[in-house]
DNA sequence: CGAGGTGTTGAATAGAATCAACTCATGTGG
DNA sequence: CCACATGAGTTGATTCTATTCAACACCTCG
């Protein structure tokens, strides 16, 4: 019954192994997790403004988080892939702030926040993991922001593609290929670009033989080249901070 | 001995009142909080890559969180104002990911994370508040992202000014005036704009009589006009304090 | 006083958005 | 089964926005 490619984030918070979290915690999480069946593309998981009840994890498929600006135009705020959580902003606001929509056939699981909190009350390890999870989300959010602000369309999309590749492959997907769950328009929106620009950049990448792309199927031909284009995320662990500027 | 304008975020996490947090928790926080003396503009609080030890709160002054991209160019990721926390991304990475610098004469307080966690182990209310804090940071980060992506320079700067105004006034500062702690270049960088563009937009705002601006002193003349320009953040039930993270 | 950072302004350029047309694949109903 | 509608993706021409390069005014600080 289980799809091989299924990821159960709600039972292993933030990719924590059972050793980290403990079997007892996993058991408790299993007890409170609500496993939703797969829904069709276009299905809304929750809407902005609805009362916050649970945080969600993606098991199969993909989710987009969107907002509508003044003109009713849709703006993509984030994509959520298998193993990732969403809806965490609701904790602060008591209401969901984004609307979330399945991009393809998608299954999610829900962790009712009150119950999750109760479980955490008894398990310090879960508490620590929750903090790590939230901190990680802040980090990704900032990476995204830094990668978009003040950079060209090429750089943004190169970053996005590499980012999606890495996140997809975390679930065991092949490293050299990528099936995009979103349209060019959605991809562009999340990068602050018009759909046409997105399409043109894809063409440019093809011409420069960085990727092969037929529709939503991407094949990476020159990862180094893409990385050179993308905004480098200089996360610690390497390279000393360059102190001498001019 | 206390400066009137001082805010002590480390003693009242995320603008929580003593009633929310409880006097005992406040007392415990006071015991672990490290109150740093004021430092001059340009002082680094921590550098990207340093081992994570504590989260910080701004008491007086202002902080910028920056990253360096490939070319050594500085990119502003966030500003932190009195009452706000920064350094939270370190929780996930065990290292700070941004470098943080005082923009003016600034005093911060540190909450050593391990100790904070220990205190939280004994106080569910503090745990809840911590989760709210982190969630709020994710929310702000997303707001920022949504406000920047795919919008004009006018819209971005209008948003930024209104945002700064609100966050400043939370500490009791006047609502109609604003003393910017950062340069045009820094403001622009955080919005993904060149310094010249920032300057020009300021001129435009002056001409349209939306603001008065002499140097870093801003006076708001037409808030409604600015809001019309800025990207509207349509948050449903919005309530409490805002927080930002490095 | 001069130095250097900050802010402003102008002219030229490059980059992305917009408007528009067209292809293609898919799906629908007649 | 085919005519047609639909949405996604591409491509071209044009317009507009923001960057870049450059020069200069201003202020503070040594």
If you write DSSP's letter for every residue of A170-226 in order, what string do you get?
TTT--SSEEE--S-HHHHHHHHT--HHHHHHHHHHHHHTTSEEEETTEEEES-HHHH
Mean pLDDT of A166-191: 92
Q: Residue B96 domain-assigned?
A: yes
Q: For residue B181, give how far its alpha carbon lies from the nearest alpha carbon of chain A (Å).
A: 21
Q: How confident is the model at residue A13 (pLDDT cuts 50, 70, 90)?
A: confident
Q: Tens of pLDDT along A79-95?
A: 999 999 999 999 999 99
A130, A21: one domain? yes
Strand D closer than 7 Å to the CB of A148? no
Q: In 3D, which of B91, B18, B23 has the Cα closest to residue B51?
A: B91
Between B62 and B240, where is the model more confident?
B62
| Owning domain of residue A163 | 150-229
Domain for residue B4, yes or no? no
| B127 within domain boundaries | yes
The two beta strands, A85-86 and A54-60, are antiparallel
**Beta carbons of A241 and B68 less than 8 Å apart:** yes
Amino acid A214 CA to nucleotide D2 C1' distance, rounded Å: 28
| pLDDT class of A73 with cuts at 50, 70, 90 | confident
Say if residue B19 is in the same domain as residue B99.
yes
- pLDDT tens per residue, range B38-53: 999 999 999 999 999 9
Q: Is the domain of A74 the same as that of A99? A: yes
A22 with A130, same domain: the answer is yes
- pLDDT given for residue B194 in this prediction: 96
pLDDT of residue B246: 63
Most A CBs within 10 Å: which of B74, B92, B153, B240, as the mutation test of the A interface? B92
Band (A122; pLDDT cuts 50, 70, 90): very high
Residue B223 within any structural domain of the chain: yes
Q: Is A75 on the interface with B (CB under 8 A)?
A: yes
pLDDT of A2 strictly over 60: no
* B38: CATH: 2.60.120.10
- The predicted pLDDT at position B182 comes to 97
If asked whether residues B37 and B131 sit together in one domain, one would say yes
Same domain for A110 and A195?
Answer: no
In a domain, B45, yes or no: yes
Q: Which of A65-74, A109-118, B98-107, B135-144 shows the lowest mean pLDDT across its residues? A: A65-74
**Structure confidence at residue B22 (pLDDT):** 86
Cβ-count burial of A112 within 10 angstroms (0-12 exposed, 13-18 middle, 19+ buried)?
Answer: middle
Tell if the CB–CB gap between B237 and A93 is shorter than 8 Å. Answer: yes
In a domain, A243, yes or no: no
Average predicted confidence (pLDDT) for chain A: 89
- On chain A, the residues whose CB falls within 8 A of the CB of B96 are 236
Same domain, B109 and B183: no
Asked if strand D contacts A43 at the CB level, meaning under 7 A, the answer is no
Q: Are residues A47 and A115 in the same domain?
A: yes
Cβ partners under 8 Å of residue B2, min gap 6: none
Q: Verify that B126 and B160 share a domain, yes or no.
A: no
Residues B102 and B218 in one domain: no
Looking at CA atoms only, how far is residue A245 from chain B in angstroms?
7
Residue B6, pLDDT > 90, answer no
Claim to verify: residue B40 and residue B140 sit in the same structural domain: yes
Put simply, whether A20 touches B (Cβ < 8 Å) is: no
What is the distance in angstroms between the Cα of B246 and the nearest Cα belonging to chain A?
A: 8
Q: Which residues touch strand C (CB under 7 A)?
A: A 152-154, 188, 192-194, 196-197; B 150, 183-185, 195-196, 199-200, 202-203, 213, 215-216
In a domain, A170, yes or no: yes
Residue A166 CB contacts under 8 Å (≥ 6 apart), including other chains: none
**A242: pLDDT confidence band, cut at 50, 70 and 90?**
very low
- Domain assignment of residue A234, yes or no: no
Give the pLDDT of residue A158.
97
- Report the domain count for chain B: 2
Q: What's the CATH code of the domain at B162?
A: 1.10.10.10
Please check whether residues A87 and A198 belong to one and the same domain.
Answer: no
């Amino acid at each position: 019954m289980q799809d091989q490619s299924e990821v159960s984030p709600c039972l292993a918070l933030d990719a924590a192994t059972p050793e980290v979290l403990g079997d007892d915690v996993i058991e408790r999480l299993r007890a409170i997790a609500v496993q939703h069946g797969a829904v069709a593309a276009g299905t809304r998981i929750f809407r902005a403004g609805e009362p916050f009840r649970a945080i969600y994890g993606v098991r199969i498929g993909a989710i987009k988080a969107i907002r509508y600006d003044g003109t009713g135009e849709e703006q993509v705020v984030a994509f959520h892939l298998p193993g990732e959580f969403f809806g965490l902003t609701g904790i602060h606001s008591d209401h969901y702030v984004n609307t979330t929509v399945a991009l393809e056939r998608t299954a999610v699981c829900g962790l009712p926040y009150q119950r999750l909190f109760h479980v955490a009350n008894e398990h310090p390890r879960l508490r620590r993991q929750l903090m790590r999870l939230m901190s990680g989300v802040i980090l990704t959010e900032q990476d995204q922001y830094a990668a978009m602000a003040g950079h060209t369309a090429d750089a943004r999309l190169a970053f996005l593609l590499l980012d999606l590749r890495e996140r997809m492959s975390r679930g065991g997907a092949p490293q050299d290929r990528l099936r995009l769950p979103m349209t060019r328009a959605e991809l562009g929106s999340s990068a602050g670009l018009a759909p046409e620009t997105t399409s043109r950049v894809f063409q440019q990448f093809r011409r420069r033989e960085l990727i092969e792309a037929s529709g939503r199927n991407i094949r990476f031909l020159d990862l180094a080249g893409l990385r050179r284009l993308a905004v480098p995320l200089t996360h610690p662990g390497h390279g000393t901070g360059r102190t001498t500027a001019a």
